[in-house]
Amino acid sequence: MSENILNSLKSRGDQTVLHTLGITIESAEKELVRLSMPVNERVHQYTGLLHGGVSVVLAETAASIGAALNTDLTRYTPVGVEINANHLRTVSKGTVTAEARPVYLGRQMSVWNIEIKDERERLISVARCTLALKAGSALEEGKP
């Protein structure tokens, strides 16, 4: 099932935020999801730095993939319901990497911690994301 989820995400091409922001799935397991994203003018705020909102998108994307890997998608659809983030350091170029790890994997929700680091392994942002497991299949047409 997890390969199907990842293949579906990768095959949707320019229809997802992964393509729009240049996010790459480096690895995805039930206990650790690792994504990377280039930092360039496409993701800058007006000062030429990585936009904090883009960091939050990267964090929630990592948590959502992790939740999907831990959920029976024939019965439930993981949906983000809350995220908070602290931006600790700025970055203007290079690549950032998000690593998401589960804090809690329940029947109705999952909670994930996400760390975003720069190429020198310096912590850029930390986030916590809560996803509800909504009744209904995530495998319907148009979904992963």
CATH of residue 65? 3.10.129.10
pLDDT the model gives residue 119: 98
Q: Is residue 76 part of a domain?
A: yes
pLDDT the model gives residue 71: 92
Contact 91, 39 (CB under 8 A): yes
Which residues constitute the domain of residue 69? 2-135
Per-residue CA distances from 11 to 24, 89, 92, 117, 124 (Å): 12, 33, 29, 27, 30
Q: Is residue 6 part of a domain?
A: yes
Q: Is residue 140 part of a domain?
A: no
CA distance 97 to 26: 9
pLDDT the model gives residue 27: 95
Q: pTM here?
A: 0.91
Q: Is residue 141 part of a domain?
A: no
Q: Is residue 114 part of a domain?
A: yes
pLDDT the model gives residue 15: 67
pLDDT the model gives residue 143: 52
Give the residue ranges of the chain where pLDDT is below 70.
Answer: 1-2, 5-15, 140-144
- 115's tokens: 């760390």
Q: Is residue 125 part of a domain?
A: yes
Total domains, the chain: 1
Q: Is residue 143 part of a domain?
A: no
pLDDT the model gives residue 16: 81
The amino acid at 22: G
pLDDT the model gives residue 127: 99
Q: Is residue 106 part of a domain?
A: yes
Instruction: Let me know how long the chain is.
Output: 144
Structural Rg of the chain based on CA atoms: 15
| Residues labelled as active-site residues | 60
